[in-house]
Amino acid sequence: MAKLFDPFQIRSLTLKNRVCVSPMSQYRAKDGVANDWHFAHLSRFALGGCGIVFTEATAISSDGRRTHGDLGLWNDHQLDALKPITKFIKAEGSIVGIQLSHAGRKASERRPWHGESPVNEQDVKERNEAPWAAIGPTNEPYGKEWPAPKIMTDEDIHQIIEDFGLAAARADSAGFDAIEVYAAHGFLLHQFYSPLCNTRSDQWGGSFEGRIKLALDVASSVRKNWPAEKALFFRISATDWIDGGWTVEDSIQLAKALKDRGVDVIDCSSGGIGGPHPPISFPIGPAFQAGFSKEIRQNVDIATMAVGFIWDARVANTVIESGQADLIAIGRELLNNPNWPLQAAKEIAADDDYSLWDPAFGWWLNKRERVMRKLGLR
Ligand SMILES: Cc1cc2nc3c(=O)[nH]c(=O)nc-3n(C[C@H](O)[C@H](O)[C@H](O)COP(=O)(O)O)c2cc1C
């Protein structure tokens, strides 16, 4: 039975444990270029003992950004700015991954704290941030107040496939070990595979095979430009949580096809498709999406990652021990406590003497612990 702090092998990579940083947009980049904030933010998770540190959603093209503050990887300046981050994280013993994304009809959005609505004149006035035109499988907007996206032509679609490949090659040069393709939460690839959004009748829509074609061709394009020894993750929305929408059974079929295209891990999130369809209510609770990971893991010969509302060390360990997932991803709890993995290891008795910590911290903490025990304070 695998446990949270057992190593995990993907191709030639050995993760020291099963805890991954879930991609978290910081909205702090300018022109897609990483800066000191991204270095400090991501480095903390390496020092905190995470097995894989994933960057936030990083756009494959300028127009594919969700907000003006997103990271990007469509030019070499952006590539160079990411190098110190990959170098540091690897030197501290974590695997470093990048999430590649295209926002599709969700592009040109304001940062969460500016309203999570389309960029408008106020943003131009206050921050000199102008709106840009979004694209999508159809011209149905993401939400009520959103402008209609431009319907993508065959040429647009081929450009996306090529751009994912080019970004993968740049990610390799920047020193990343893992790529996660962002195909969840209502972003472009999810917009294509969800029947609620993709009503096209050409080869990129219509049937199930048509709707998943873009995701599969992107997987192949990334694999072609990404070394065979490096890992490829795919983040999907395992269900739309909406009647008539994408289902877990669809996710199982997609996962099988992605495996054939060289994908190693399915990261199982859910929801976010938007449009005029109200989501049915769903039960949020500890590890509430782990069931999707379990379904896919049991039905497809592929590794899975569970994510969502995981913060308790014992719950996290149970997800792995019970075979619901090979890996867990943690988001908000790592913002709260970047040392979560090291502290979780103590909590579930996987590290009694701070030996998982770098000695620069662990030697002192262990010494203090011995004194506290002597004084009866522990
Ligand atoms: C600040 C923040 C930014 C996020 N940005 C991304 C992102 O760039 N890509 C993505 O796939 N998910 C993103 N998410 C979702 C998280 O990766 C994760 O799936 C979600 O927060 C649920 O996990 P948690 O309960 O551990 O936070 C973001 C979440 C937060 C809190």
pLDDT tens-digit readout, 354-375: 999 999 999 999 999 999 999 9
Tens-digit pLDDT profile for residues 65-75: 999 999 999 99
* Residue 209 and residue 241 in one domain: yes
Question: What is the domain range of residue 338?
Answer: 8-347
- Residue 246's pLDDT is 98
> CB of 55 within 8 A of CB of 98?
yes
State the closest ligand 1 atom to the C-alpha of 184, by its place in the atom list counted from 1. 11
Q: Are residues 243 and 370 in the same domain?
A: no
So what's the pLDDT on residue 362? 97
Does 115 share its domain with 20? yes
Q: Are 18 and 5 in contact (CB under 8 A)?
A: yes
User: For residue 90, what pLDDT is reported?
Assistant: 98
Task: Please state whether beta strands 95-101 and 135-136 pair in parallel, antiparallel, or not at all (unpaired).
Answer: unpaired
For residue 187, how far is its CA from the centre of ligand 1 (angstroms)? 13
Where is 95: in which H helix or E strand? strand 95-101
Q: Examine the domain organization and report whether 322 and 363 are in the same domain.
A: no
The number of beta carbons lying within 10 Å of the beta carbon of residue 353 is 12
Q: What pLDDT does residue 280 have?
A: 79
**Which among 19, 20, 24, 116 is the best mutation to test ligand 1's pocket, defined by most ligand atoms within 8 Å of the CB?**
24
Note whether 265 and 364 are same-domain residues: no
Residues 188 and 220 in one domain: yes
Q: Which residues line ligand 1 (CB under 6 A)?
A: 22-25, 56-57, 99, 182, 184-185, 235, 269, 307-310, 330-333
Domain co-membership, 250 together with 376 = no
pLDDT at 283: 85
The Cβ of residue 236 has, within 10 Å, a number of other Cβ atoms equal to 27
CB distance 138 to 157 below 8 Å: no
Q: Residue with the nearest Cα to atom 5 of ligand 1?
A: 24
The confidence score (pLDDT) of residue 134 equals 98
326 and 376 housed in the same domain: no
Q: How many domains does the chain have?
A: 2
Domain check: are 358 and 338 in the same one? no
Q: Which atom of ligand 1 is nearest to the CA of 235?
A: 11
Round to whole Å and give the CA distance between 361 and 197.
Answer: 50
Residue 95 lies in a domain: yes
* pLDDT score of 295: 98
Q: Is 315 a domain residue? A: yes
Q: Is residue 1 part of a domain?
A: no
Any domain includes 3: no
Q: Check: CB of residue 273 under 8 Å from CB of residue 267.
A: no
Together in a domain, 369 and 303? no
Q: Give bridge partners of residue 96 from the DSSP assignment.
A: 53
Count Cα neighbours of 235 within 13 Å in the Cβ-side half-sphere. Answer: 32
> Which segments in the chain show pLDDT lower than 70?
none
